[in-house]
Amino acid sequence: MAKVKDYGNAELEEKLSDTSYYTDDSNPQFLEDVKKISRTAANMCFQCGTCTGSCPSAPRSSYRIRLFMRRAVLGLEKEALNDPDLWLCTTCYSCTDRCPRDLAPTDVIMAMRNLAFKQDIVPRNFLKTVQLIYKTGHGVPNNDVNRAARVKLGLPADPPTTHSYPEFIPGIQKIMDFYKMKDTADRILAEESK
Amino acid sequence: MRQYAFFLGCIAPNRYPGCEAAAIKTSEKLGIELLPLKGASCCPAPGAFGSIDLNVWYALAARNIVLAEEMNMDITLICNGCYKSIWEVNHILKNNDELRDGVNEVLAEADMEFKGSIDVWHLIELYYDEKICGVEKVRASVTHPLSGTRIAPHYGCHLLKPAKERHFGDSENPMWFEELIDALGAESVQYRNKMQCCGAGGGVRGFDLTHALDITNEKMINIQEVGADALTEFCPFCQLQYDRGQVEIQEKFGQAYNLPVLHYNELLGLAQGMTPQELALDLHAVDCTPFLEKIL
């Protein structure tokens, strides 16, 4: 019969069971949330730095994808979500293709951005895109110069998208309303303009 | 004639309509008929939407896919960003029951259901696919070869990467796009760090334009180094970043490149005898005339 191994000291057992070495600043749930949203095992990162070495944003800013991976593992939620560098990832997926542990650091960044948005931390340009799609179905809507050019090409002035079939827009709005996305965008932008 | 539902996205129809017109006309000559996907919306932009709420991104992309399912037709598209949204969400929802159930709960609000009954293709992969078109068929369709021009390829990011979830093989130094460029009678050229991002994605163009342009500028330096007459890609968002970006680079950094940027469908259109007017090349921020003078 195997014997249960222990140190016979409750305090020491508890300390050693904390395999992620969480500190007072860390939120263990943060790592779990990141893993769930990103669908990648972020805790497997061993900090080799291949991601930062592959990153087109790294040479021209203080953005370090490896640092964000570490913040995920350590549960450093505030440090990760409050850092504006979070929004300098172009999502090129070079780090993901080269990660020797087969992780997706890009998707970790996407997950952290999703979590930041839940706390109203979001660059304002993203909110304007939300408003445009809610209203027109397009993130980049048509304009008069382009309409004239389309007609010259023998195309309809408006493409056969929601622009020509606005009856599809309420469906889009219902989907966005399901997640209260437009309300959130409106509220944040309204608070700002006060 | 193979038929596909043509998902337009935003930038092609609303900023570079020549890409849309060229895609329809050039594909017809290759046995591919593109039919309108009525009521489609923004894909939605993977950087802008995926960054703030992936659930909305899944659901809105799924709505576009369902429109094609209702037509009982595969989707084809001409933008890497759209490919990430439409192909990837189709792929994820086909293979993840939990996410699919969640999306269908939301789609029910719009009386729709994702069934997973169609596939999604980038038009460029249909061109390269021997079973559907193939390089030789592209070559045979050329009536006005782009002889004497040197053209730099830009693959962009979201068609090939992440490679393990895609089906395009090597993402470090692929060469298949070069075959398609050479088929037009042009000479494709290699340059440093060919696979680097254009700089626009992930919402960075909107968040920090100078940062995005600095990445673009590095690409421009590397392309200038090998002396190309034009840059070609198969992503209108990359096209916008390179084309309008060159004007912005000139304003911000004082460097001028004057390198014409053309979508592969625009190049194919020229090679099949379409005129610059039929491609609305005058809407490009960088003057295409020097390139056109070489081939017309």
The Cα-based distances of B103 to A147, B96, B165, B230 in angstroms read 34, 11, 21, 42
Measured between CA atoms, how close is B228 to chain A, in angstroms?
Answer: 22
Question: What CATH architecture is B142-295?
Answer: 3-Layer(aba) Sandwich (3.40)
Confidence of residue A2 (pLDDT cuts 50, 70, 90): low
Dist. CA A149–CA A155, nearest whole Å: 9
- Closest approach of B8 to chain A, Cα-based (Å): 8
CATH tag, A22-118: 1.10.1060
For the stretch A133-166, pLDDT in tens is 999 999 999 999 999 999 999 999 999 999 999 9
Q: Which of residues 119-148 of B touch A (CB under 8 A)?
A: none
Q: Is A139 close to B44, i.e. CB distance below 8 A? A: yes
Which residues from B are below 8 Å from A174, CB to CB? 109-110
**B157 to chain A: nearest residue by CA?**
A92
Average pLDDT over residues B142-155: 98
From CA A94, how far away is CA A43, in angstroms rounded? 19
| Pairwise CB contact (< 8 Å): B195 & A159 | no
Partners of B77 in beta bridges: B7, B122
- Distance (Å) from the alpha carbon of A137 to chain B's nearest alpha carbon: 5
Q: What is the pLDDT of residues A161-187, one digit of tens each?
A: 999 999 999 999 999 999 999 999 999
The answer to whether the pTM exceeds 0.90 is yes
Closest by Cβ to B53, choosing from A93, A114, A153: A114
pLDDT at res. A1? 58
Distance CA A10, CA B258 (A): 71
Third-level CATH fold of B2-123: Glutathione S-transferase Yfyf (Class Pi); Chain A, domain 2 (1.20.1050)
Whole-number pLDDT of residue A20? 65
Kindly state the average pLDDT of the residues B284-292.
98
Confidence of residue A15 (pLDDT cuts 50, 70, 90): confident
In chain B, residues under CATH classification 1.20.1050.140 are 2-123
Which is nearest to B104 in space by CA: B149, B55, B49?
B55
> Residue A5 pLDDT > 80, yes or no?
no
Dihedral over alpha carbons A126, B56, B123, B186 (to 10 degrees): 20
The helix/strand count (H/E) of chain B reads as 14, 8
- Cα–Cα dist B5/B65, whole Å: 10
Complex confidence, ipTM: 0.95
- Residue B109 and residue A175: Cβ atoms within 8 Å? yes
User: Residue A7: its pLDDT value, please?
Assistant: 86
CB-CB contact of A58 with A95 (8 Å): no
Pick from B41, B52, B196: which is nearest to A122 by CB?
B52
Domain boundaries of chain A, sorted by first residue: 22-118, 124-193
In A, residues 118-147, which contact B (CB 8 Å cutoff)?
Answer: 122-123, 125-126, 129-130, 133, 137-143, 145-146
Record the tokens describing residue A77, joined without a space.
């939620």
